[in-house]
Structure 1
């Protein structure tokens, strides 16, 4: 009986919560350091992907030659907003800032100078978003918020260069709690809870037709979504599922009872919901960044189980030997051990073992030993990879003769310049200790901002008849803490627009300006309307241009877009006839109730004369 009680009271990560004992606040609102490392790596990759996707339209979206010259954008920035990207309108300047942001994202991924990298990423992310606010979506808002809260957390405490350079990293407990961990988790669930509270239209409850309407927004539905929407009874069930998941999930995921099971259950439920969005809707990287946010709920018990499996796959006899007088060598060994998942594989001075020490001196090489013997230079690296429980398959390729030759030459080059590399490592890779606890200042700031975002979210609810004071609006815009989760709220959109732009050249030739080709524009409905748009940011801009609720802003959008089209035609056809006049028209398809025929309306948005 005593053994059964002990089993029932066993918990994740050694915490004192069992099935019948409620979890404490530190367990409910804490985050495992290994989960924070995963969050850092995935957020870094997201930022890198975001940069690459934006680079496709560097000139069109971020320079004075594009759709949003700086003078126009600055007229529409909110109080408190800033943008380094507005300092210069050239493509070269924008490219440099994008490159700096990419470097910061890569520093986050490997965990080198992590806090500096996160702060730089946050500043540059706000900056690039404020450079062109008419192409933004909920994805951008959530990404800034996650990066903001990341600044308060020890993201480099595990699986990072910073952790490898912390002499005490192996002794630290994986459980971590601070006001910032509470804030990050509450921020993530606030997105769902307040979105559900804003879904007040009958299409959600009681009708259950919201998913039907969402999947009939042809201008953002994928081919899979077009096929899937034929199952109308399933769409109704999914409507109820999404609504109640968003309303109840954020509460039960913090339940002190059955804490671990409910946390994993609802985390997986939210992730699968976003995978469904990814399959059915062209909404950019919003599902990806949402999944990253949900993975912050991954409990330590998952990592403990994974660590046990990896430990069984590691070579127990593996050991790394370095020159005691070379601190650069020790740092390199610790970094390799970290990124090869080698756990507590011993790293020892070669001088402690006379035979190993002689090998090091005679070959001017580090030594890796295992049950097969002692290995030097590139073969030592290969044995480390072979001993890795994750990267082991790469060891076979590393044994190819050209790679061995190149590896040995590279090692000799490093060994010959060890003194210089030691000086560089002292500056760039100093030994440092990662704080084990958040300081009082960090906790206080995180607490203030947590109250701030909660107040904002409450102010968005129906019936809240108050708005933020101007000073708080300025603070919100400066920090990127905007909260208004209107994802398909109060109901999904009911119209799907797609552009048709026909014009004439100076020689009278009729051209399809939107497709940049000669001949009449095709006005027929495309089979996949979403394919008309080059990407989701162009769709956001053009749908804003068509949106009648944007008056009078949309006339400025249309004017600058038209000017951009004139310039783009001139650049693409420098020696031919130039674009003279054209009209921007949108075919707007209205989503009917189930069983009712569709109606398409033609809206002329703008007439333009490139020489007028």
Structure 2
């Protein structure tokens, strides 16, 4: 080798070494920001199971009304509306109350098993199936938080949720401290896509980036609750909160991904504080709980170590015994099968199954990450997803809460019964229906799901879905009125929509108007 060749070879080797060192540094920095402490995953698992229980408990109060043939959305309505969900609901196997109660109880048991971390991935998958089935049974009561919840649960299942603080961990006898991979990257990407997309959609409006978004949203009396009812007296504070919220949304990628260690902790708690404010101010369903759960994986190892140091030593060092679990404490079935194969000299088969399982999870995590980024970007850009994969069941990454602008009016509804003597009364035994603006429009609804359903009734009454949702509601209202006033007394029911432009500078300048959604003979 000549001197020139040796010099070229030396430069090539040096360049290769620098490139390798650069890639290694990049990999190390990426790993530090994308790895998740397994205690954070455990906290997420517990949060997901708890949200399922809270959701079931909340829905149970209107179980008969929304999920049985005796309510506003019988199976006949399910089969004729929301075609994308037809045939996808276990809850639609029967319109009887006892059947719905049974499925609710089963879903609750699986939620408890998820909290405890028993066969976590299998239990989580069954919980997801039951959750989707429940959503499909009556989509008219859903809002974006329900969709975000099932998406988050789905994404979380490609990560080892049962690695710590779980029955599964006791059965294994070991646990990793942190994990990193495509699955964890997908889990961290999901809330960032939600925040960033929402920030972009808000930019298409006029209010949020003028500092007025929260000020307008807080005047929506049908959505504003508790703390929100008092914030309108402080316009300066509302503008500051507006800019803080927009900053958290638009800067989420930088705040949550570029930070690490202790620097990330106050950032996460800033988001948690914002979600607490959302919970106390607006009736938006599960959004505050699901968003809070979604940012838990960002809490770093330093936080969990410090939290454990606050626990009394006798508690921190207490170790439960697998013998206490009885039959549940046995090693997982798949472990016992693999061990049997090895004992019979089939190490090759056992190794193939183990490697195949790991490869499958890696591929699944990569596909989920690609799904989040592809569909999330498509919704805020001119890019069209290829027709081959543009399914309504995949196109779930649409996050437009209060975007592009908050509504500048709000609705409430009234159901009137016309009696045979031509008098008018409230169909449900309440006071006569009037167009007077209520003192607090949010109190006109039992909860946010009734508000969502009545919005669907309104849309159906204007001609969507062939009017089936509106007519089913009117038929149910007839039954309630007949039960209240007698079969021979009720002639027809009328559902009214009342619309009130929101106040300007604290003063209502326009009266409410009302429209007939549907009038139906009983």
Shorter-chain TM band: 0.7 to 0.9
Counterpart for residue 604 of structure 1: 515
Task: Give 1:236 deviation, angstroms.
Answer: 1.5
Q: 1:246 to 1:549 in 2, by over 3 A?
A: farther
C-alpha contact 2:222 2:412 (8 A) present in aligned 1: yes
Deviations 1:539-576 (A, max 9, x none): 11113333599743483332111111112334556x66
Q: 1:331 to 1:517 in 2, by over 3 A?
A: same
- The whole-number CA distance in structure 1 between the counterparts of 2:76 and 2:106 is 24
Aligned 1:159-558 pairs, distance under 5 A:
159-167=165-173, 169=174, 172-199=175-202, 200-205=204-209, 207-255=210-258, 258-310=259-311, 312-314=313-315, 331-333=322-324, 425-426=326-327, 428-432=328-332, 439-462=358-381, 464=382, 466-467=384-385, 469=387, 471-473=389-391, 475-476=393-394, 482-506=396-420, 510-513=424-427, 516-517=428-429, 520-546=432-458, 551-553=463-465, 555-558=467-470
More helix as a share of residues: 2
C-alpha contact 1:506 1:580 (8 A) present in aligned 2: yes
- The whole-number CA distance in structure 1 between the counterparts of 2:167 and 2:273 is 32
C-alpha contact 1:193 1:250 (8 A) present in aligned 2: yes
Where has structure 1 moved over 4 Å in runs of 4 or more? 20-23, 313-316, 433-438, 506-509, 547-551, 575-578
Structure 2 length-normalised TM: 0.84
What secondary structure sits across from 1:606 in the alignment?
Answer: strand
Give 5+ residue unaligned stretches, structure 2: 1-24, 336-353
The number of aligned residues is 477
Aligned: 1:565 with 2:477: yes
Task: Give 1:212 deviation, angstroms.
Answer: 0.9
2:32 to 27, 30, 40: 27
Q: 1:568 to 1:44 in 2, by over 3 A?
A: same
- The whole-number CA distance in structure 1 between the counterparts of 2:308 and 2:436 is 58
Counterpart for residue 136 of structure 1: 142
Deviations 1:298-336 (A, max 9, x none): 1111121222343635598x899xxxxxxxxx5244x6x
CA RMSD of aligned residues (A): 2.9
Counterpart for residue 77 of structure 1: 82
C-alpha contact 1:223 1:528 (8 A) present in aligned 2: no
Structure 1 length-normalised TM: 0.72
What secondary structure sits across from 2:227 in the alignment?
Answer: helix
Counterpart for residue 17 of structure 2: none
Task: Give 1:441 deviation, angstroms.
Answer: 1.0
C-alpha contact 2:36 2:178 (8 A) present in aligned 1: yes
Task: Give 1:487 deviation, angstroms.
Answer: 0.8
What secondary structure sits across from 1:584 in the alignment?
Answer: strand
Task: Give 1:496 deviation, angstroms.
Answer: 0.7
Deviations 1:372-413 (A, max 9, x none): xxxxxxxxxxxxxxxxxxxxxxxxxxxxxxxxxxxxxxxxxx
- The whole-number CA distance in structure 1 between the counterparts of 2:487 and 2:85 is 46
Task: Give 1:504 deviation, angstroms.
Answer: 2.3
Task: Give 1:605 deviation, angstroms.
Answer: 2.7
Give 5+ residue unaligned stretches, structure 1: 1-19, 321-329, 336-424
Counterpart for residue 366 of structure 1: none
- The whole-number CA distance in structure 1 between the counterparts of 2:185 and 2:192 is 11
- The whole-number CA distance in structure 1 between the counterparts of 2:386 and 2:415 is 41
- The whole-number CA distance in structure 1 between the counterparts of 2:184 and 2:77 is 39
1:591 to 487, 502, 510: 502
Q: 1:223 to 1:577 in 2, by over 3 A?
A: farther
- The whole-number CA distance in structure 1 between the counterparts of 2:158 and 2:73 is 34
Q: 1:164 to 1:66 in 2, by over 3 A?
A: same
Task: Give 1:436 deviation, angstroms.
Answer: 12
C-alpha contact 2:260 2:300 (8 A) present in aligned 1: no
C-alpha contact 1:32 1:300 (8 A) present in aligned 2: yes
